[in-house]
Amino acid sequence: MTVGGKLFWLAITGGGLGTTLWSLWHWNSADLRLFLTYVTLAGAAACWRLKIPGVTPVLSLHFLFVLLSVSQLSLPETMVIALAGALLQFFLFVRRMAAAEFLFDLGVVALATAGTYYFHANLVTHSTQVSPLVLAAAASILFLLSTFPGCILNWLNGGVGVLEGWQNGCLRAFPHYLAGGGTAGLLSLLHGGSGWDVALLIILPAVYWMYVSYRQYLVNLDEDRRQMRELSNLNYRTIETLGLAMESNDPNKTGHLRRMSIYVREIGRRLGLSEKELQALQVAAMLHDIGKLAVPEHILTKPGELSAAEFESLKIHPVAGAEILEQVRFPYPVAPIVRAHREKWDGTGYPAGLAGDEIPIGARILAVVDCLDAFVSARYHRAALTIDQAVDFIRAESGKSFDPRVVHLLLLHYRDLERKVSEARQRGLETHSVLGDTPESLPGRIASSGLADTFLHRVAAARREEQNLFQLLRELGNSLSLDETLAVCAQRIHAMCPYDAILISITREKTLSLVYSAGIDFRNPGFGIEPAGGLSLQVAANCQAIVNGDPADELVPLGGSSVEEMRSALVGPLEGLGGVVGVVALLSRHRNAYTTDHLRVLTSVSTKAALSVENAIKFSRAERSASTDVLTGLPNARSLFIRLDSELARARREHHTVAVLVCDVDKFKQVNDRLGHLEGNRVLKLVAEALASQCREYDFVARMGGDEFVAILAGHPRALLDAKIQQFQLAVDVACRQSPEAIGIGLSVGEAVFPEDGADAESLLAAADRNMYRMKLLRKHPASETAPTDLENLKTSLGGTGSAGSALNVG
């Protein structure tokens, strides 16, 4: 209570106490029976309370007997009747009132009673006859003296103005006081002509009937108001539900409406908006994004920055939202706020380029709050900022994008408002109604009713499914790699259909091979290893999905400590244009973990992924055939030159050696001529396997062409090359013994080392080729040295490099 309030309280309380004591000190009663009758009736009337709509104090018929006492009894008797009724009402209906407030009310009653009594006495002294108008005037004085002190005290303590408080809280009770004054005047007239007992017998039944009728009228009126309030709340709950449904489409906007609702209402109050303006602002905050229904989803969820054309498409949402809301015909201006909430204070906004006060005040508030919430929430293209970082940005845009007054209020109160948002989140409040209750008093109807776990979850799940399918289609087109395609499928499936482990197999030559696994600690066998039986083989054979199958047969051959934890499986086919190209198996640790809805999701993903998997398999095969020798399975000449250039570049950077061995099969032409090309092909396969078996993991062996092979040995010292050549020759000799007709076939090998024998691939291969032919001559004529011209003659006699094999033997 302020100092002024305390002084006023003391004046009223002290004045009332003094008036009461002075009246009782001068006690007198001309008709004690009449006094006791009025005391009894006044006490009964104090129990007849009426709650008049729009009137803050509850009204009773006690004041009628105060007016009767004013006209027929002495001041002390009137004071006793007035104070007795006030005390009775307090003890029967209030009791929780603070002592200071109670004493103040008694003081007001005492002063109002005394003032009314002397006002009436003065009128009667100057009037020639008793008239109901006199008591009506006295009732007016009693009403004014009873209501104005409370309004003055409220104003002195920081409340609304005296006249505003009196008009809003008390004025509607004035007609009832006038009616009471007229009734008291009529009783006074009858009292003068027939006696007070006859007057009471005539008037009181009529008064009681009027009281009962009016009370029933008020009950009916209250019921009508309750129904109207429920209808209004129903309309607003519809708006809340629609707003929550729109928010649930975007997982980044969780709690978006909660912050918007609290911020816009509190800032609007501090700017002096009326209740209807606050209601319009609240609804606009709920539905300001409804126009985004007219914007393509891929633009709204684009992870990067929008192009100019995409941004133009996005800019239609304020106009679209306003046009939608105009069809609702709200009783307050919602559509103009939504239409202008993207305008900027300096006129550079959209859609109309409004500036300054041309922008509706509600739109200016909404623009600031929407920007703040956007920055503190994560988006598809960026992470969330802290509240202080977001406020700093808004401060910098004051006078440019935003109204400086709104920004100033936000800077002053944003910490308190964030605290309210946090408290609302803890209470589970998702939205706040402006109809009938204040935001702080609402119980959070939608959130607390469990609806958030039903329709909101379903709406959000449906939108996430749509977004994941869209992302899947977009990502599947980015790569022809089989590994990347399967990884994308696994990631998107997990977002829509959770699993503890996933197995993806593909069909290869009428068999099923596991090529991808995640989420389980078994040994991943890799491409080309076939699992022994299981659900995947059944699905591949029948092209029919299996829901909640037993994954034991699928997992036991694979091993792993968590294999036994899997209790159910969802297995579906990947059906491409040429039939089943693979199988997807989802595994869960829970029994009966999958439903028909999960099957629908998996089928939807599989349908879209099957073609990409099929294309990736074809591309993988084409890629292998372009870089692999079909006959031996070794890399071909194209791969050889690519690998050799790569190894030489690395050797230059790291300053180490690279050895190149050119190997030629001796007497291979004789095998082709005597036994045919099929046996020659078999010999080439044996040689290729033998050479590959003698290489380190990081060595490289390729078929150059015909019966010629090349090995690249990175970092191999020259001093150890003779031993490596002997290993190659011995391995080929052992391998060829598997074919009786190939016994005697040998291997001539020539070496060259970077950088001593050449600085590039061609020079190294040429040097190794010369050394290989020198070895071939030495193996043919071990007792003589071979001149360079003899090497050329040998090449000519053999038909040149790679000419010993027919077309079937050429890689």
CATH code of the domain in which 761 resides: 3.30.70.270
pLDDT given for residue 190 in this prediction: 59
Cross-sheet strand order for the sheet of 700-705: 700-705, 708-714, 658-666, 746-754
Percent of the chain scored above 90 by pLDDT?
12
Q: Are strands 579-588 and 568-576 parallel, antiparallel or unpaired?
A: antiparallel
Q: Is residue 125 part of a domain?
A: yes
For residue 498, being part of any structural domain is answered with yes
CB atoms near residue 775 (< 10 Å)? 22
Residue 90 DSSP symbol: I
pLDDT at 449 (0 to 100): 41
Under 8 Å between Cβ of 811 and 632: yes
| Nearest CA-CA partner of 768 in 801, 740, 719 | 801
The answer as to whether 682 is a domain residue is: yes
Is the four-CA dihedral 545, 551, 553, 556 of positive or negative sign? positive
Judgement on whether residues 152 and 281 belong to the same structural domain of the protein:
no
* 89 domain residue, yes or no: yes
Shared-domain flag, residues 169 and 101: yes
CATH, residue 257: 1.10.3210.10
Q: Please indicate whether residue 206 or residue 547 has the higher confidence score (pLDDT).
A: 547
Q: What is the pLDDT of residue 174?
A: 72
Strand (E) or helix (H) holding 508:
strand 501-508
Query: Rg of the chain's alpha carbons, rounded to an integer?
Result: 49
pLDDT for 5 equals 83
Which has the minimum average pLDDT: 18-32, 260-274, 606-620, 699-713?
606-620
pLDDT-derived band at 364 (thresholds 50, 70, 90) equals very high
Q: Taking 50 as the threshold, does the pLDDT of residue 467 lie above it?
A: yes
Number of CB atoms found within 10 A of residue 691's CB: 27
Q: List the single range of 64-73, 519-528, 562-571 with lowest mean pLDDT.
A: 519-528
Q: Tens digit of pLDDT for each residue in 562-595?
A: 556 788 888 888 887 778 888 888 888 888 889 8
* DSSP per residue, 319-356: HHHHHHHHTT--SS--HHHHHHTT--TTS--SSS---G
User: Is 351 in the same domain as 422?
Assistant: yes
For residue 409, pLDDT over 80 is answered with yes
Task: Report pLDDT for 360.
Answer: 93
Residue 263 pLDDT more than 70?
Answer: yes
* Whether 439 and 487 share a structural domain: no
How much of the chain is in helix, strand and coil states, percent to nearest 5? 65, 10, 25
pLDDT at 611: 79
Q: Containing domain of residue 293, as a range?
A: 247-453
Going by their DSSP bridges, the two strands 546-549 and 49-50 should be labelled as unpaired
Tell whether the torsion through CA atoms of 15, 17, 20 and 23 is positive or negative: negative
Let me know: does 387 contact 376? Beta carbons within 8 Å. yes
Q: What is the pLDDT of residue 804?
A: 33
pLDDT tens per residue, range 342-360 = 999 999 999 999 999 999 9
In this prediction, residues 236-244 reach a mean pLDDT of 65
Question: According to the model, what pLDDT value does residue 517 have?
Answer: 82
pLDDT of 60 over the 80 cut: no
Q: Which of these, 322, 328, 318, lies nearest to 353 by C-alpha position?
A: 318
Q: What is the mean pLDDT of residues 485-493?
A: 82
215-231 burial, b for 16+ CB within 10 Å, e for fewer? Answer: eeeeeeeeeeeeeeeee
What pLDDT shows up at residue 733? 86
Using CA atoms of 10, 11, 12, 17 in order, give the dihedral in degrees to the nearest 10.
80
Angle at the Cα of 361 from the Cα atoms of 359 and 366, rounded to 5 degrees: 95
Same domain, 448 and 484: no
Residue 545: both structure tokens together: 């999905």
Confidence check: pLDDT of 541 > 50: yes
pLDDT for the residue numbered 800: 42
pLDDT confidence of 233, banded at 50, 70, 90? low
Question: Which range, of 69-73, 182-186, 316-320, 629-633, averages the lowest pLDDT?
Answer: 182-186
Task: Determine the angle formed by the axes of helices 75-89 and 62-72, rounding to 10 degrees.
Answer: 170
Quick one: tokens of 285? 């905050």
- Given the structure tokens 């005290």, which residue do they identify? 153
**pLDDT tier, 403 (very low <50, low <70, confident <90, very high otherwise):** very high
In a domain, 257, yes or no: yes
Mean pLDDT value across the chain: 76
pLDDT (tens digit per residue) in 195-229: 555 555 555 665 665 556 656 656 666 776 677 76
Domain assignment present for residue 551? The answer is yes
CA nearest neighbour of 256 among 464, 460, 468, 399: 460
Helices 404-427, 361-376: axis angle to 10 degrees equals 60
Domain stop point among 601, 626, 651: 626
CA 208 to chain centre: 61
Q: What are phi and psi of 570, to 5 degrees?
A: -115, 115
The tokens describing 546, both together, are: 């299996």
> Structure tokens of 256?
């978006």
108 and 166 inside one domain:
yes
Question: What's the CATH code of the domain at 143?
Answer: 1.10.1760
At residue 124, the pLDDT reads 65
Among 556, 591, 626, the domain boundary falls at: 626
Contact 675, 741 (CB under 8 A): yes
User: Percentage of the chain surpassing pLDDT 70?
Assistant: 70
- What is the per-residue pLDDT for 154? 82
DSSP for 160-200 reads S-HHHHHHHHTGGGHHHHHHHHHHHHHHHHHHHHH-HHHHH
Residue 200 covered by a domain:
no
* Phi, psi dihedrals of residue 503, rounded to the nearest 5°: -125, 130
How would you classify residue 402: left for phi > 0, otherwise alpha for psi between -120 and 50, otherwise beta? beta
- pLDDT one-digit tens code per residue, 287-324: 888 888 788 777 777 767 788 888 888 888 899 889 98
Sign of the dihedral defined by the CA atoms of residues 697, 703, 709, 712, in that order: negative
Least confident interval from 278-292, 433-447, 594-608, 624-638 = 433-447
> Regarding predicted confidence, which is higher, 502 or 98?
502
Sheet with strand 501-508: strands edge to edge: 511-518, 501-508, 579-588, 568-576, 546-549
For the domain that residue 566 is a member of, what is the CATH number? 3.30.450.40
3-state secondary structure labels for all residues of 702-768: EEEECCEEEEEEECCCHHHHHHHHHHHHHHHHHHHCCCHHHCCCEEEEEEEEECCCCCCHHHHHHHH
Distance CA 266, CA 410 (A): 10
pLDDT above 80 (res 700): yes
pLDDT grade for 418, boundaries at 50, 70 and 90: confident
The pLDDT of residue 340: 93
Tokens of 653: 């950077």
pLDDT of 811 reads 36
In Å, the largest CA–CA distance within the chain is 167
Whether residue 299 is found in the same domain as residue 164: no
Q: Are residues 443 and 411 in the same domain?
A: yes
Can you read off the two tokens belonging to residue 235? 């309309």
More confident residue, 482 or 475: 482
pLDDT digits (tens, 9 = 90+) for 774-801: 888 887 766 554 444 454 554 444 444 4
Domains identified in the chain, total number: 4
Which range of 61-65, 138-142, 236-240 scores highest in mean pLDDT? It is 138-142
**265 vs 236, more confident:** 265
Whether pLDDT at 659 is above 90: yes
* pLDDT at residue number 797: 46
Same domain, 598 and 654: no
Answer whether residue 546 shows pLDDT above 80: yes
Q: Say which residue, 488 or 731, is predicted with more confidence.
A: 731
Determine the Cα–Cα distance for residues 336 and 330; give it in Å rounded to an integer: 11
Residues 619 and 646 in one domain: no
On the question of pLDDT at 699 being above 70, the answer is yes
Q: Is the pLDDT of residue 768 over 80?
A: yes
The SS3 assignment for 78 reads: helix
What CA–CA distances, in Å, run from 796 to 472, 762, 783, 786, 808? 60, 21, 22, 15, 21
The angle formed by the CA atoms of residues 100, 105 and 111, to the nearest 5 degrees, is 125
Residue recorded with tokens 């029976």: 33
| Other Cβ atoms within 10 Å of 584 Cβ, number | 29
Of 113-127, 205-219, 725-739, minimum mean pLDDT range: 205-219
Final residue of a structural domain among 602, 626, 650: 626
Contacts of 214 (CB under 8 A, 6+ apart): 50
Q: What is the 3-state secondary structure (H, E, C) of 101-145?
A: HHHHHHHHHHHHHHHHHHHHHHHHHHCCCCCHHHHHHHHHHHHHH
Q: Is 244 helix (H, G, I), strand (E, B) or coil?
A: helix
pLDDT attached to residue 745? 81
Q: Determine contact, residues 477/586, Cβ cutoff 8 Å.
A: no
pLDDT band at 531 (very low <50, low <70, confident <90, very high): very low
Same domain, 676 and 796: yes
668 and 746 belong to one structural domain = yes
Distance between CA atoms of 137 and 517, rounded to whole angstroms? 94
Give domain status of residue 215, yes or no: no
In the predicted structure, residue 31 carries a pLDDT above the cut 60: yes
